[in-house]
Structure 1
């Protein structure tokens, strides 16, 4: 449509903004939005942009940043801690799936190089879609979630040999194939060693020096330089430049600057990555989809069925329950973005014909489009396919919880046993309040149970699991998840099972307070709101503001935010029960002046008991006496270290000075 590359890019961005805005309402993954834009504007769609070559240069940078970000997420520590899942489940999955696909391609008459490309691409799943969907559903720490993560980690690790293999296949001739492949892997090995050496001995000191300059521009520029330098180095070695980016990401992912690097590259990554997936969409022909519809659907269903059966068989071999095996298999049955990268790379090296490439790309994209639904309903699918064993497994969990909680009453049901949940549990234990907790992290539950904690593995969004906690006799339920989607599902389940039960919900910020309140929460406590209030109140006290004034300010900030607690402030009284729980007692030094009324008085003569003041210490010169005797006489220039509510400390200090 436009001859100028800049106009093409601007036109693309305008269409992308509009389409992504609309599709977000349907919760479609961003990758699929970009691919759809490519189909619409591409030469096989409306022909608004005649060739993807006009933006392919920028799209190549998108691939580089995709692989760099995957490398950043790759954790050697996590890989070693999950080595059984990574090398056991993941290794067998890639090997067996690749072998099935390779021999299937051979049966249909494809040559060796093409068969290897298709097997390599289809053996990999979508890290971006699966991890995002599992995280939103709070299933990342479940048994099937951890198994899926283990497989995905190995698939990411396979990026190194596959990114060496595809260019080698593209440049090797028939007679010298084995020698060319051997040379390519030798060069690849040298590249990996050089990059590992550079990461250990050069990159960490470099970023330490750059970070010490405290220049955001210099830090960002250094990140871009490292990424592009690594990509250029591997390209000069006749290996895919994406390998260099992936290795650079792996190296930097092990440093303390990982999160800052992620934040810096994300704007570049998201935009350029979007252009890459747009170019993928431009390669897909609706005409080919129409003419080869049944072939494309057969390939899509065939690869998803093969991968599903392989993953299910592997997990059953490792003695995983049928439900866990099916949920993992369903979640990983698709072709991923890495598969798209390998197919487009193979097209650039002419290892695939244009028609076959379009068919494979279309099949891969369709499998990715199905994935969010499959992951979302993986539990229902497992329930349908193995209803008896699946229900027996849940029944066993429910029976254990029922048996252990059948004598509980007036207890707290704690949903989520992460850092916030465990802190809450400690307070409940100190107050001798019984509680029962549910969590989906099997390792955390196991460790807590070994320590004697009443913590059980179970999905708190399931009615039967919630009922098993003896919810009808509970005093209150508290939801401690930071994930909005999991919290709202659990809240709705609680209201279905026990409509009158008070429910306290913790959330990270105040963006979903109205939704939680509308869903039936009795009270919502946002982390950021509370932490900012406490930080500000401590700051005001440290700079010398009167405690009573600080108390009034914090009350005013909370007023209207917590409707339930507002009812506990009748007439702005200084003696509400909530003061002690919410503001808490403070420790404050009081210096006794020469003219103070308290000089010469014994501690027992002071009204500290009436004001609920605890005199922790008396400091005289450089000597500090803790837990002083009540017969101690106060001298001028003494410092009393007292503990109590801020307004009571104000009254006590006034009495010390005036005797009133």
Structure 2
């Protein structure tokens, strides 16, 4: 199959399968894997050679780690040294020992068993980070801990590549190695010379990134040609990957180091914007290649063995990660995100299995089985994440609610705030500053732990539960302020409060106009749209910047706010009639324009020449 046809098949598979998988709630990663399995040699046979495509697609992982590095300033990375070395180091060591022991118990030689342990100890950086980013968990404790483990694993790939040939089962005169090592120009040198050159290469990346690259980017930016900046960004990442390859190191690690060095660079956001589309496309290609590379004939031949090994791998990693999560103090909700994100085999496993086979460390028949095990474990990861999200997390939420009820005494404060995120915190701080006694509930255990560090007293709980509202003092309270992130939970909390505590005034946060009407129908006493006041304030400032006097901008904003509020109330009766709703909205928009024309009867509508300071009635835009 020619290159153009191959590209068409890959892109078509991704474009069709991924949106369907996302719509079904399976996530993009599983969509790519399914697409690959369908077009691969074991199904529709549209693609037969996947190995070369996968090697190219692995560059998506390199780009991803470069972008991750851009988000981490060196001082932040230094603060993470304990979880990287502690959590990451223990995960690799303990998992390697556990899997090595299991393999030896099955009768394998210790060299083969250790190689298998080292390879299966690794997790998929591509899948884990992609899922955590999709779930917006990268800045949570689960995300930070997962990243620390993945970073240590990527660093560990380097000594693993060096160690595997030493575990060879028989003497060999010429050892083939993986792409990272086979293209190395220093492999013939003695160990201390190799170490010096490697250190020199890493130092040069840091020096160039810190002191020279800024001037290059400034020169390119001054040209005003965006496509040249894109080319320069790609050149930077490809150049680093090539340099690391030449000295036998992981290109992904080199890209990550470069990203960290450039984290404080003024061009980092431009770099990120230019590289991100290529990263996403290549990662998708990588996942499709993994799916296409699954040997279903081998799975059909040995289904019990392979599925048993897949489940055993996930179980071993699950237990080890669960213990480490407890030791390192991960909260209940974060713990299972952390475990399921890392419970699979990793993409570097395919590379290391190839090296192990060529180095005569692992027999070829076992390599085939392990390749299928790693691929299937990667396929199962999005499913495990989905099960965690749908079934396990709600159970832990319930447990957290129950444990909170045991520790929280009955409250008697006049105000209850449900939700203490970016919206609820502003409301709460204002009330607390004015000596108001409040009871604060939040459904995020990690948010509670973080906010309590600043001296706020929060309790874990779901405000849509009747018994919890009673414990929080809803019978005696005057106000219930609902600032929950979840639209569904907000509606449930309003309905629950108005049904069982009719005396309680409910002040609620709405996401948009549609949500506003939902809350009004449920009986909320006052509803504040999430971004309305901030947007109005910014619009008022924009008018002033365009030359409108401050007092006039204030009046215009007030008129707009009043008319908008009146319009929302008027539209409420048409909320179920879409055509009428849109028609009335357009009428209201025209009315608003007429109001402002009446305010400025001499407003100009053409582009006539104006003086520096507009007179009354002139347009400012």
Superposition TM-score, scaled by structure 2 size: 0.73
- Shift of the 379–450 alpha-carbon distance from structure 1 to 2, 3 Å rule, reads closer
Shift of 1:490: 5.0
- Shift of the 55–275 alpha-carbon distance from structure 1 to 2, 3 Å rule, reads same
Match in the other structure for 1:658? none
Match in the other structure for 1:551? 558
- Shift of the 469–181 alpha-carbon distance from structure 1 to 2, 3 Å rule, reads farther
Helix, strand or coil at the partner of 1:502: strand
Match in the other structure for 1:270? 280
Q: Distance in 2 between matches of 1:426 and 1:565?
A: 32
Shift of 1:335: 1.2
State whether structure 2 residue 349 is matched by structure 1 residue 342.
yes
- Shift of the 305–180 alpha-carbon distance from structure 1 to 2, 3 Å rule, reads farther
Match in the other structure for 1:641? none
Q: Distance in 2 between matches of 1:469 and 1:180?
A: 70
Q: Distance in 1 between matches of 2:388 and 2:344?
A: 14
Shift of 1:513: 6.7
Q: Distance in 2 between matches of 1:259 and 1:424?
A: 32
For each residue in 1:265-306, what CA deviation from the matched residue of structure 2 results, as whole angstroms up to 9, or x when unmatched? 121111111111111111102222222222222122212221
Match in the other structure for 1:369? 382
Q: Distance in 2 between matches of 1:219 and 1:135?
A: 26
Match in the other structure for 1:538? 541
For each residue in 1:10-30, what CA deviation from the matched residue of structure 2 results, as whole angstroms up to 9, or x when unmatched? 122122211112111111121
Alignment counterpart, residue 238 of structure 2, candidates 204, 208, 228: 228
Structure 1 residues 79-478: aligned runs within 5 Å: 79-110=77-108, 115-116=113-114, 118-126=116-124, 146=141, 149-163=144-158, 165-166=160-161, 169=164, 182=191, 188-204=198-214, 206-207=216-217, 210=220, 216-317=226-327, 323=332, 327=336, 330-332=339-341, 334-335=343-344, 339-344=346-351, 346-347=353-354, 350-351=357-358, 353=364, 355-376=368-389, 377-379=391-393, 391=399, 394-403=401-410, 406-409=411-414, 411-418=415-422, 420-429=423-432, 433-439=436-442, 445=448, 449=452, 453-458=456-461, 465-472=468-475, 473-478=477-482
Match in the other structure for 1:644? none
Count residues in correspondence: 542
CA contact (8 A) 1:167 1:240 kept: no
Match in the other structure for 1:638? none
Note the residue ranges of structure 2 that are not aligned, 5 or more in a row. Answer: 176-186, 574-615, 617-621
CA contact (8 A) 1:330 1:375 kept: no
> Which gives a bigger RCO, structure 1 or 2 (Cα 8 Å, sep 6+)?
2
- Shift of the 381–209 alpha-carbon distance from structure 1 to 2, 3 Å rule, reads farther
- Shift of the 185–302 alpha-carbon distance from structure 1 to 2, 3 Å rule, reads farther
RMSD (Å), alpha carbons = 4.2
Shift of 1:518: 8.4
Shift of 1:400: 4.2
Q: Distance in 2 between matches of 1:185 and 1:62?
A: 28
Q: Distance in 1 between matches of 2:129 and 2:311?
A: 22
Superposition TM-score, scaled by structure 1 size: 0.69
Match in the other structure for 1:38? 36
Helix, strand or coil at the partner of 1:46: coil
Shift of 1:96: 0.6
Match in the other structure for 1:488? 488
Match in the other structure for 2:580? none
Match in the other structure for 1:523? 527
Shift of 1:407: 1.7
Q: Distance in 1 between matches of 2:138 and 2:523?
A: 26
For each residue in 1:174-196, what CA deviation from the matched residue of structure 2 results, as whole angstroms up to 9, or x when unmatched? 66999999576665444333323
For each residue in 1:58-102, what CA deviation from the matched residue of structure 2 results, as whole angstroms up to 9, or x when unmatched? 424323323333434555444444554443333222221122123
Alignment counterpart, residue 26 of structure 2, candidates 25, 28, 31: 28
Q: Distance in 1 between matches of 2:312 and 2:450?
A: 41
For each residue in 1:623-656, what CA deviation from the matched residue of structure 2 results, as whole angstroms up to 9, or x when unmatched? xxxxxxxxxxxxxxxxxxxxxxxxxxx9xxxxxx
Shift of 1:9: 0.9
Helix, strand or coil at the partner of 1:158: helix
Match in the other structure for 2:63? 65
Q: Distance in 1 between matches of 2:306 and 2:537?
A: 59
Helix, strand or coil at the partner of 2:249: coil
Q: Distance in 2 between matches of 1:138 and 1:518?
A: 31
Match in the other structure for 1:505? 509
Shift of 1:161: 3.0
- Shift of the 75–25 alpha-carbon distance from structure 1 to 2, 3 Å rule, reads same
Match in the other structure for 1:623? none
CA contact (8 A) 2:68 2:256 kept: yes
Q: Distance in 1 between matches of 2:379 and 2:45?
A: 22
Q: Distance in 1 between matches of 2:433 and 2:126?
A: 43
- Shift of the 267–246 alpha-carbon distance from structure 1 to 2, 3 Å rule, reads same
Q: Distance in 1 between matches of 2:342 and 2:203?
A: 33
- Shift of the 556–335 alpha-carbon distance from structure 1 to 2, 3 Å rule, reads same
- Shift of the 429–6 alpha-carbon distance from structure 1 to 2, 3 Å rule, reads same
Q: Distance in 2 between matches of 1:260 and 1:516?
A: 41
User: Whose radius of gyration is greater, 1 or 2?
Assistant: 1
Give the stretch that moved more between structures: 512-521 or 82-91.
512-521
- Shift of the 14–203 alpha-carbon distance from structure 1 to 2, 3 Å rule, reads same
For each residue in 1:523-579, what CA deviation from the matched residue of structure 2 results, as whole angstroms up to 9, or x when unmatched? 35242x54443222222245126344453344445554577999xxxxxxxxxxxxx
Note the residue ranges of structure 1 that are not aligned, 5 or more in a row. Answer: 384-389, 567-649, 651-660
Structure 1 residues 534-613: aligned runs within 5 Å: 534-542=537-545, 543-544=547-548, 546-547=552-553, 548-557=555-564, 560-561=567-568
Q: Distance in 2 between matches of 1:350 and 1:382?
A: 44
Match in the other structure for 1:15? 13
For each residue in 1:423-449, what CA deviation from the matched residue of structure 2 results, as whole angstroms up to 9, or x when unmatched? 222332455544322346768646755
Helix, strand or coil at the partner of 2:508: strand
Q: Distance in 2 between matches of 1:441 and 1:380?
A: 12
Match in the other structure for 1:617? none
